[in-house]
Structure 1
Amino acid sequence: MAPTQPDLAAPPAAGLPGASAWVLTDGKAGDETQCLAVAERLGLSPEIRRVAPGAPFAWLMPWGPIDPRERAGRPGSPVAPPFPDLAIASGRRAVPYLRAVKRLSGGRSFTVFLKDPRTGPGAADLVWAPSYDRIEGPNVVRTLTAPHRFSPERLEAARARPDPRLSALPAPRAAVLAGGDSRHGAFSTRDVARLAGQLRSLAAGGVSLMITTSRRTPPGLAAELRALARDGRGFLWDGTGENPYASMLALADAIVVTADSVNMLSEAVATGAPVLVFEPEGGVGRLGRFLAELKSAGLVKSFGGKLECYAYEKLDSTPVIAQAVAEGFAAHRAAIRAAASR
C-alpha cells in the first residue's frame, strides 16, 4: 500500500458489519480518540482496552515485551481473549501488546497502528502515519491530517441542535482551542501575554469567544482565558455540563487554535471555517513541517489578533484512513479463507 494523500472526493469507508474490534492504548486521550475515530467511521463499537505496564518493562517500550503482569492469563489483562477481528492501537506502550494480540490470535486478528510505532512498519498489518513522519513501507498509509471523530454528519447534527450556551452568543463567533506545553515546545510568559492580548483584541472587535482548554494549557494562559470569559467576552467550558466541543466547531465563524496539537488542527480544518494558528515563539519542533504543509495547502493562516475570511476545501482524512483499513481487513480475511481451503 503506497503512501497516499487524502482524496477529497473519497467515498465513505466500507463498513465492517459483524466484526469485533479493540482499541488498544495506554489511555492517552489523543491516542484513544484517533483509534475510536477510525473504528467509528467503519461502523464499529470497539471494546476499549488500556495497557498499564510498570517498570522496567515500560522503559523498554516499544521494543521490549509486554509486562508479564499483564499477560493474557492474568486477571484484568488487556490482551485477554477472545481476540478481536480488528485491533487498532496507538502510543509506544501499546506496540508490544499489539504484537502480542497478533501472535496470540494465531494471526487471525488484523492489526492497525496509528502513528509511527518507532519499530518499523512490521509492527502491524497496517500503519497510518501523518505525512510529516518519515515511516514508509508497502503497508503504510500517510495523510496530511489525523483521524478524528467529527464527521460531517456529527457537525451537521451539532448545527441543527447546538449547545444553548453557545448559540446564545452573538455572531460572529470564534472557537478558541487552547493547547499548551508538549514535547514539541513550551509556551513562554511572552507567548501567554501575546495570545491573551490578541484574543482581547478579537473580543473588543465584537467577536464572541467559545473557549476550551486542555490538560496541557499553562496555568497562566488558563487564568487569562477564564478572565476573558468572566469579563463577558464569551464562554469557557470549565468541565461542567456536557462537553460543547462539537458545537464549538459547528458554530464557529473562525477557529483560533494553538499550534501544538495535530488532533485539534485536523478537527479544525474539517469544518471549512477559517483556521487561525497561534505559534509559540520557540516553535513546535517537528510539527513545524505539519504546519508548513497546512499553510501551503491554503488550509490555515497565522493568527494576528483579527479574523481572516478565506475559503478552502475542508479536509477530513478519516474516511481515507478507514477505507484503507477496510480494504486491508478484507484482503486479510480473504487470505485466511484461502489458507483454510488448501
Structure 2
Amino acid sequence: MSETMEQPATGTTASARPPRTWLMMGHKAGDNSQILALAEALGWPFEIKNLVYRPTELMTNLFAGPTLMGLVKDRSSPLEPPWPELVISAGRRNEPLVRWIQLQAGGPSKVKLVHVGRPWALHECFDLIVTTPQYRLPDKPNILQNEAPLQRVNAERLEEAAALWGPRLAHLPRPLISVSMGGNAGPYSLDRENGALLGHWASRMAKELGGSLLVTTSARTPRKAADALEAALDVPSFVYRWRKDDPENPYFGFLALADRLIVTGDSMSMLAEACVTRKPVYIFDLARGPGSSRPPPPEDGSIPGRTLMERLADIRLQPIVYRIGMITGPKRLTRDVRLIHARQVKEGRAVWLGQDWPESAEKAPPLGDVERAAAAVRALFDPVRGARAEENKAQITTPPILPEAVRRLFQ
C-alpha cells in the first residue's frame, strides 16, 4: 500500500544521497495536497504512506505520545524498516504515528519531522512546522509562518494543462473566467442561495467583459448549491461536476487558461492556487451579516432568500461552534481564515467579488510559500544550519511543570 515516487534530485543535502522521505497521507485531500506540494518542491525521491484510522482514534491519540493505537494497520501502508530520515505529515491523526516512527528509528537525531498546518502535540516535537496565519501560532525558531497553504501549481503543470484543455475550450469567447466552488467549512455554508448568488455575479462579470465561464465544483460542493449556480448562468459556460479520481478533471486547465479567477472563500487552498497564477482573483464571501463582504442579491428579486424550511434544513453545528470558539475559545483551539483573505487583498492579489479590479495596479509579488518551505526543510540537513536548528529547538522546550496533554493548550 506504499507508493515510491522518483523525483528529479534538484534538492541538495550534506551527503550525495537525498534523505529517505516518507509522506504520511491521511483522510483530508487538502492536507495531502500540501504534503505533496512540499515533497515535489524538494525534488527528492519519496515514499507515500496511505493511512487509515480507527473511529476511536481521538480517544487514543488526543492525549497520547508516540503510538500506533489509532491506526488500522491491516488497511494502511506498512510502517517498518528501513526507517526514513525525513517524515512530512499534516493533521492531528498523524502526529502520534510520526513520533512513533522517530522513536523506533532511534530518536530525533535519526529522523526529522516536518508538520504542515497546526500540530496538536508540543511544538518542540517537530523539527519544522510550516503554518499559515489562520492558526495564529507563536513565533518560534522551528515555526515557518507562510502566507497561505502550500499548493502544487507550477509553470510546468499549467503548461501541460493548457495544452490539453486549450483546444477543448477554444469555442468559448474570451476572456475566460474560472469559477471554483468549495463547500461547507467552518463558519461558511454554500447553500442554494449562495450558489445562485455566485452564479449571478459570475455571469454578470462575463457579460460585462464579453467572455465566458469555466465552472468546477469540488468534493465538498453540495448538489443543491451547484444546481442553483448552474441555473443562474446566462452566459456561455463550461461546467464540470467533480468526480472522484477523474483523469478528466479540468481544474488545472481552468487555472491555466482563465484570464480571471473566482473562488469561494471557504477554501484557503483554492485561494492560494488561484493567487499563484498572478491573475486577477475574486473571492466570493459565503458569510452573511455584519462584516461580510458578500455581494448583494439582484434587485429584481430573481434570487429569493432562504425560506424558513431551508434555514432549518441547513442548520449545522460546526458554524455555531466556530463562532462561539472565536469569541470564547483559546487561540490554540480556533482558526481565523479571514486573516488569509485579508492578507491576499492587502497584497493586491485578490479583491472581493462585486468589487472592481484595479486595472492600473502593478502585479502583486508572487507567492513564494512553497519555495520558502522547501528551503527550510533542506536547511535541516545542512550540517551547520541543522545544528543551529537543534540548538534553537532545545531553547523553546516548555518547562515540564504540567503534563504534556495540559501544556499543549497553552503553547
Q: Provide TM-score, normalisation by structure 2.
A: 0.70
Within the candidate set 104, 115, 118, 2:117 is matched to: 115
The CA deviation string for residues 269-323 of structure 1, in whole angstroms up to 9 with x for no partner, is 1101000000013369711111111111111100018776453233231001111
CA gap 1:57/1:69 in 2 versus in 1, 3 angstroms: closer
User: Does residue 317 of structure 1 match 2:381?
Assistant: no
CA gap 1:189/1:306 in 2 versus in 1, 3 angstroms: farther
- 1:339 counterpart residue number: none
Q: What is the CA–CA distance in structure 1 between the aligned matches of 2:255 and 2:166, rounded to whole Å?
A: 11
- 1:91 counterpart residue number: 91
User: Does residue 247 of structure 1 match 2:253?
Assistant: yes
Aligned length: 321
Q: Where do residues 226-241 of structure 1 align in structure 2 (5 Å cutoff)? A: 226-227=230-231, 233-238=236-241, 239=243, 241=247
Higher RCO (CA < 8 A, seq sep 6+): 1
- Give secondary structure in 1 for the equivalent of 2:380: helix
- 1:169 counterpart residue number: 172
CA gap 1:207/1:305 in 2 versus in 1, 3 angstroms: farther
Q: CA deviation at 1:92?
A: 1.0
Counterpart contact for 1:22–1:87, Cα < 8 Å: yes
CA gap 1:123/1:25 in 2 versus in 1, 3 angstroms: farther
- 1:270 counterpart residue number: 276
Larger Rg: 2
Q: What is the CA–CA distance in structure 2 between the aligned matches of 1:168 and 1:114, rounded to whole Å?
A: 41
Q: CA deviation at 1:196?
A: 2.0
User: Does residue 221 of structure 1 match 2:225?
Assistant: yes
The CA deviation string for residues 205-236 of structure 1, in whole angstroms up to 9 with x for no partner, is 4321111111211222211344467x662212
CA gap 1:59/1:228 in 2 versus in 1, 3 angstroms: farther
- 1:304 counterpart residue number: 354
Task: Read off the aligned partner of 2:282 and give its amino acid letter.
Answer: L
Q: Provide TM-score, normalisation by structure 1.
A: 0.83
Q: What is the CA–CA distance in structure 2 between the aligned matches of 1:77 and 1:138, rounded to whole Å?
A: 32
Unaligned runs of 5+ in 1: 1-12, 336-342
Q: What is the CA–CA distance in structure 2 between the aligned matches of 1:50 and 1:331, rounded to whole Å?
A: 31
Q: What is the CA–CA distance in structure 1 between the aligned matches of 2:356 and 2:348, rounded to whole Å?
A: 18
CA gap 1:126/1:171 in 2 versus in 1, 3 angstroms: same
Structure 1 runs of 4+ with >6 Å offset = 305-308
CA gap 1:68/1:315 in 2 versus in 1, 3 angstroms: closer
- 2:127 counterpart residue number: 125
The worse-fitting range, judged by mean Cα deviation, of 270-279 and 92-101 is: 92-101
- 1:141 counterpart residue number: 144
The CA deviation string for residues 87-108 of structure 1, in whole angstroms up to 9 with x for no partner, is 1000111111111111111121
Q: What is the CA–CA distance in structure 1 between the aligned matches of 2:356 and 2:197, rounded to whole Å?
A: 13
User: Does residue 257 of structure 1 match 2:300?
Assistant: no
Q: What is the CA–CA distance in structure 2 between the aligned matches of 1:83 and 1:318, rounded to whole Å?
A: 26
- 2:186 counterpart residue number: 183
The CA deviation string for residues 168-209 of structure 1, in whole angstroms up to 9 with x for no partner, is 422100111110101242234432332121123234343211
Q: What is the CA–CA distance in structure 1 between the aligned matches of 2:200 and 2:105, rounded to whole Å?
A: 55
- 2:26 counterpart residue number: 26
